[in-house]
Structure 1
Amino acid sequence: MIAAAEAPAFAPGAWLYVHPERTRPRPDGDAPRLVLFDRDGTLTVDDPPYNGDPASVRLRPSAREALDVLRAEHVPVGVVSNQSGVGRGLLTRAQVESVADRIEQLLGRFDAWVFCPHAPAAGCACRKPAPGLVLAAADALGVAPGDTAVIGDIGADVGAAAAAGATGVLVPTAVTRPEEIAAAPRVAPDLLAAVHSLLGRGPA
């Protein structure tokens, strides 16, 4: 995996990785200048939970197609992921990195990865629905939070987007609660539809 960078002050303790050849965001247009994805349950099937085994990575439907569309439009892409398994003593940093490497083998390069390694009780500023991960990714890639979108499968993902001033899109799965769907500002049936809606090509 690419070398870690120092997380900004508003996300202390987060793990930040930025690709040295990252995509430069387009200067204009109505589409987001950065799209961030949740990892577990959004890009990958969240089974087993707290996955530290690259061989167990399975992709969600249309994940590759959605990323291909964004890359064709020169929109930077990143991942913002709570990894409380680290704080719970169930995962190591090396395991989190190895799973990220496997995802990049399957889905291509991401411009940034930002992880929260803290347990829920830690009270950190980065664990979603706090805005720290979203703000750190946007800051690292030189994009204003208001020009950023976050796609995830649970309320914490769209909550983090809202707290950061970004646009949130919910792509429900079997674990998404009905109240999270009802409260989401935008809902899409799958990742490809979510991306098309952000690009103004269809409803969400």
Structure 2
Amino acid sequence: WREFYMQILANFPHVVNASFKPAYDQLAWNEGPKADQDFAAWCEGQTGYPIVDAGMRQLNQTGYMHNRLRMIVASFLTKDLGIHWLRGERYFALKLNDYDLSANNGGWQWAASTGCDAQPYFRIFNPTSQSEKFDPKGQFLARYLPELAGLPEKKRHAPWLAGDMTLESAGVELGRDYPLPLVDHDQARKATLARFAVLKQAAN
């Protein structure tokens, strides 16, 4: 992938600041104070989605993030929060120890479905199911989200579904010790599909 994206960057240098596919520059990304607050929460690992938050906290603390996590957090920023991929790409540029312009740019455009070989726009990672699949015991979550470590392993992936008694016994109060989810994933998914549908209709 590194060499592939190096060739893309060399032959299509506009991708540094714009979508590989120019039509996708017309996407209506979320902007304004609410989007800025959501972006800050994403950067700080305070979205209320544990796998996203653990990944971002790992990045902030170590300068590293596994590729699977990079895909998850990028999908969340662009398709759950509806925030322009460039904002996430530039944050990664500041934080990653292994930062490479071509690979980072290509990865972000892949996740946002604006790149040359991007995932289909209707493929939207569910952060909870991704967490359950790749961290089934919640060990990674407990490491980077110690406030959730007292929850039963299977409840760490979606603490808002844990139930009041379980949360109380673990000493967790959502909104105080750990944030409530910034968005409802199902509603955010519908908004992203609508965002791309408008663009598709205009193209036709």
**Structure-2-length-normalised TM-score:** 0.29
Which structure: greater strand fraction?
1
Q: Which has the higher helix share?
A: 2
**Structure (1 or 2) with the larger CA radius of gyration:** 2
Q: TM-score, normalised by structure 1?
A: 0.29
